[in-house]
A and B are shown apart, each in its own frame.
Chain A
Amino acid sequence: MSTTRERTDDAMLHPEMRAGADPDAIIRGGRRLDHAEGTSKPLRPAPELQPRGAKVRGNRPIDQQEAAARFIAATEHEKMHDERLWDLRQKRDREMHGISEWEELRSLASAIKEHTLTHLDEYLDQFEAKARSNGIHVHWARDAAEHNQIVHGILRDHGATSLIKSKSMLTEECGFRHYMASVGIEVIETDLGERIQQLDNEDPSHVVVPAVHKLRTDVAEVFSHTIGTDPGNTDVHYLAEAQREATRPLILKADAGMTGANFVVAETGTFVVCTNEGNADLSANVPKLHIASIGIEKIIPRLEHLAVFVRLLSRSALGSPMTQYTSHFRGPRAGGEMHVVLVDNGRSERLGLEEFWTSLKCIRCGACMNTCPVYRRSGGLSYGATYSGPIGLIIDPTFNARKYSNLPFASSLNGSCTNVCPVKINIHEQIYAWRRVLVKQHEVPLVKKAAMKAAGVLLSQPTAYRAAIASADTALAHLPRFVIYNGLNAWGKHREVPHPPKQTFHSWYHANRGAKL
């Protein structure tokens, strides 16, 4: 038997994106390093104008397909995005295979999170008491507006007018930078990707790699008119170094620092921040004042549980064994002051949604985004929401069911997201459940409703479903192209529908295994 299929990690989606040479590589002991979010192989796209994200018009439903079509039309961006995220997925698989207890860790992570969420009040109470006794000031915010006001109040009390911060999806959710600008506080993002996005006045497109949709030429363009780099120089080392040099003085003179948190440990009153750049540690350890904004769902009971999540997080996110920095804050440093703002912003209500509460297990690793064929080809900004990709599809409608009513349809329901999720959220099932809920709430346009109705009838009748799948596969094999690639089938646009299987799984199982039962 041939073993040619052993090394699938070298498989590329777009082999033409592979660079001929690898001058940027860092080689150690003959090995090309690919830790953190580094690619496992050199990629090189051609310059191209950057496509922009979804058009957001107040409360009107986001047209994800329209923005995705523009991203797909920018072929260099689309192929680079697709390839880079698929590379992260493959690195994730490599790490997974290196740990024999991987599936056990996923089950533990899921069980720990479900236990904590079903006792959330008790653990928050325990954390608060412990953190206070360690000298941390603990605040509570019902929603985004209250969060922003609390942070503003702390800054005002200290006469602080500049704030350095590390990346936090929660502060994105709260529209924090926008609010701070309105009250005259200068906010400086210190994560390179987030800084690029801030300077370009654009939201992050991915929870872990915020500027993954941009090419080096796009970054050179942004930096040339914001931090004064040479517009003709697109060397990545030059761009990163220029940003370091431009940000360092701002870090040194900032009045306050802000971080998010990846995990919160109830028994010790600790919060944990993971970064690759060390920028959270600069934000927390250089100014006297440190404020951490933390979603209430980040809590876990004890230190022994933290080990499970730290082992899973970076491996799932980037295929790197650990973030470069995993920092544990249990109290203020000598002469410093530490504040924690615990934020609800819809989370406690989500806890009461029977079909959707387990989405609160999410640790924001982005693995579901990296594996999702729709996300990889649409770009995160096409979702027009704080959270994009599969996890976004099931979180965003809880913030605004009308505005994000189209998002649960941006999925092929292939289930890959569920398979890679380190905390075992049944993401694709929740996506389907959201479609049902939104149809019931009349938030869904007519074409989708008709298709949903037919699908609903089929899915409730296993025999009819099997017959329909078998005949659909037969039809796919024989129908003329114009029937499959028509305007009503959005995901037949710009892509080939997969070759239909000659036999359905069910009929294969019946023929091959059925008798053995």
Chain B
Amino acid sequence: MSSRDDILASIRANLPRVDRPLPHVPLFDNDPPGSLLSAFKDNLHRMGGVFLDPPTTADILAPVRAKIADAKVVCSTVPEIAGNRDIAGVGAPRELADIDFAVVRASFAVAETGSVLLSDADLRVNGVAYLAQHLIVLLDPADIVVNLHHAYRRPEFRDRHYASFHTGPSATADIEGVLIHGAQGVRSLSVLPIARATGNRIH
């Protein structure tokens, strides 16, 4: 017998003879926060992320431009910001190792946890979100769901080969519980709320 058949046979021989029905999982959304955007912002801050308050006048992208002004290598996968490293020309992910800032757009965000979802479609090359020193995420305020129960109803988890919740930057406290940002991945994660460009709206 193959290992597969062996294991399945062993499982069948040992299955507990008890009746355990699959429960219904509620959405737990009876008491949503007044503003999904401000709940998202608060929770993002708790997790070490930075919420970029958009200026009410003039250039809404000014906070992003200020951040990347002095960066040597910027890689952008969004039409709103032009970088100087074209992701379309990247052969192997390791070519992204010298990137200072990556700028991407999130598929959506979760108010409960302050998470943004980045899929392979958003990133183009998955490694860019981990090899860059800093990550800037554009988020349409219309794309925030209240909690993880709603999040897992989104199509990305059925359509995409890769999708990752980023909740703040790479972090560790493996030495004496001292919190460090930038353990292996990005040293900072900033989120700017900005609607998707017209004609670019997916949802």
A-side interface residues toward B, CB under 8 Å?
24-26, 28-29, 31, 33-39, 43, 45, 80, 84, 87, 100-101, 104, 107-108, 111-112, 114-115, 117-121, 124-125, 128, 134-135, 140-142, 146, 190-193, 196, 209-212, 214-216, 219, 236-237, 239-241, 244, 247-248, 251-253, 268, 270, 276-279, 281-282, 284-286, 296, 301, 303-308, 310-311, 320-333, 342, 344, 348-352, 354, 357
Contact = CB atoms under 8 A, between A and B. Distances in A.
Contacts of B167: 321-326
Interface residues of B, number: 77
Contacts of B97: 248, 252
A324 B169 contact: yes
Given A33-B46, A277-B172, A304 B149 contact: yes
Contacts of A212: 174
A330 B176 contact: no
Which A-B residue pairs are the 6 nearest by beta carbons?
Answer: A278-B185, A352-B14, A38-B179, A39-B177, A193-B174, A277-B183
Given A26-B181, A111-B22, A117-B16, 7 more contacts: A24-B179, A39-B178, A84-B177, A248-B97, A278-B185, A285-B126, A325-B165
B103 interface: no
A84 B160 CA distance: 39
A324 B166 contact: yes
Interface stretch (B5-13, B56-64, B68-76, B194-202): B5-13
A321 B46 contact: yes
Nearest to A357: B16
Given A278-B186, A326-B165, A348 B14 contact: yes
Interface centre among A31, A142, A146, A190 (most CB of B within 10 A): A142
Interface in B42-90: 43, 45-48, 50
Interface centre among B7, B172, B184 (most CB of A within 10 A): B184
Interface of B: 2-4, 6-8, 10-16, 18-23, 25-26, 28, 31, 43, 45-48, 50, 93-94, 97, 112-115, 120, 126-127, 129-131, 147-149, 151-153, 157-158, 160-186
A244 B182 contact: yes
Nearest to B165: A326
Given A112-B23, A141-B3, A190 B184 contact: yes
A310 B14 contact: no
Given A281-B129, A307-B151, A33 B15 contact: no
Contacts of A251: 184
B14 A344 contact: no
Contact of A252 (B94, B147, B168): B94
Contacts of A119: 15
Contacts of B6: 142
Contacts of A276: 170-172, 183
A328 B178 CA distance: 28
Contacts of A332: 161
Interface centre among A140, A285, A330 (most CB of B within 10 A): A285
A28 B188 CA distance: 13
Nearest to B160: A330
Contacts of A307: 25, 147-149, 151-152
A330 B161 contact: yes
Interface centre among A216, A278, A332 (most CB of B within 10 A): A278
13 contacts: A28-B45, A35-B48, A36-B179, A38-B171, A38-B178, A111-B20, A115-B23, A210-B174, A236-B175, A236-B176, A281-B126, A303-B152, A357-B14
Nearest to A288: B92
Contacts of B163: 327-328, 330
Contacts of A107: 23
Contacts of A352: 13-16
A100 B112 CA distance: 13
Contacts of B182: 241, 244
A24 B178 contact: yes
Given A146-B3, A278-B185, A121 B12 contact: yes
Interface centre among B43, B153, B157, B176 (most CB of A within 10 A): B176
Nearest to B169: A324
A305 B25 contact: yes
A310 B28 CA distance: 14
Nearest to A311: B148
A215 B176 CA distance: 6
Given A29-B45, A322-B167, A329-B162, A278 B184 contact: yes
